[in-house]
Amino acid sequence: MKALLIDDHPLILSGLQLVIQGFGDEVSVACVETARAARELLATDADFDIVLLDLHLGDCSGFELLEELRAAYPALSVVVVSSSDSNDDVTRAIYLGAMGFIPKRASNEILVEALSMVMSGGIYVPPMILRSHLPAAVGRADDHGWGLRTEGFSAGDGSFSRSSAASLGLTPRQTDVLELLLQGQSNKLIARALNLSVETIKDHVAAVLRTLNVSSRTQAVLAVSQRVGSATPAAPRH
């Protein structure tokens, strides 16, 4: 896993870095303290699996940077890590394309669970967010938070089929990409599975997002969940 941490508090960066390094030996972590430094780093190397973003940076609003990252790097998974636990901030971050929202007061256990959920293709939302703010067709709630799981829309369980993808206006190859995207696969893994280059996969992902009229993977998951859920409501996960 290759992670980028964006936070203007050195102690927070150090703590997050230790937690992420605990995921295993094949973990690479880059840390920056400003939006400017993040932009400069991503301009030279955007090949990250996950970005952890603070909302309160010294030189930029985290929401502004989130929107910027979603537009410039639509395949990049961004998780907000914030001292805020406001419902409005959580909802705004998710609908701007964040793959998760983790309060800084969360325990290391919750942080690990949330990041694992995102890396496996889910969307993590803390428990204070109201159910009505998110589609009921996906998700489970417990004391640790909300998990919007994309595997509920995999081809394997029949709720998301190639015919339903065709109804969205996707080509067969875009459907292949969307199926793997909904399983939480990174561009590298999608490229490997389809025997295509990463650059080609990036083009297909961008085309899928345009077809769904969304700007991020998160919004794609929500869009598909709403469309599939409206046709075949999924049972709540417990």
Does 60 lie in the same domain as 135? yes
Over residues 24-83, the pLDDT tens digits come to: 778 899 999 999 999 999 999 998 989 999 999 989 999 999 999 988 888 788 999 998
CATH number of the domain residue 77 falls in: 3.40.50.2300
Does 164 lie in the same domain as 130? no
Q: What are phi and psi of 77, to 5 degrees?
A: -85, 120
Residue 110's domain comprises 2-149
Does 193 lie in the same domain as 103? no
Q: Which amino acid is at 128?
A: M
Q: In terms of C-beta density within 10 A (0-12 exposed, 13-18 middle, 19 or more buried), how is residue 197 classed?
A: exposed
Higher pLDDT, 67 or 156: 67
Q: Is the pTM of this model over 0.85?
A: no
How far apart are alpha carbons 230 and 203 in whole angstroms?
A: 29
Does 170 lie in the same domain as 142? no
How far apart are alpha carbons 126 and 136 in whole angstroms?
A: 16
Does 189 lie in the same domain as 171? yes
Higher pLDDT, 134 or 3: 3
Does 187 lie in the same domain as 107? no
Segment 231-237 long-range contacts (CB within 8 Å, at least 24 positions apart) = 231/164, 232/159, 233/137, 234/137, 234/138, 234/152, 234/159, 236/136, 236/139, 236/140, 237/139, 237/140, 237/147, 237/149, 237/152
Does 131 lie in the same domain as 169? no
CATH number of the domain residue 215 falls in: 1.10.10.10
Q: Which amino acid is at 230?
A: S
The CA radius of gyration of the chain, in Å to the nearest whole number, is 17
Q: What are phi and psi of 110, to 5 degrees?
A: -65, -40
Q: Are 103 and 85 in contact (CB under 8 A)?
A: yes
8-state DSSP, 47: -
Q: In terms of C-beta density within 10 A (0-12 exposed, 13-18 middle, 19 or more buried), how is residue 118 classed?
A: buried
Does 163 lie in the same domain as 136? no
pLDDT, mean of residues 143-172? 53
How far apart are alpha carbons 67 and 65 in whole angstroms?
A: 5
Q: What are phi and psi of 61, to 5 degrees?
A: -70, 135
Q: Are 61 and 55 in contact (CB under 8 A)?
A: yes
Over residues 86-138, the pLDDT tens digits come to: 888 888 888 888 888 998 888 888 888 888 888 776 778 776 554 444 443 33
Counting the structural domains of the chain, the total is: 2
- From the list 119, 86, 82, 91, the residue with the least C-alpha distance to 217 is 119
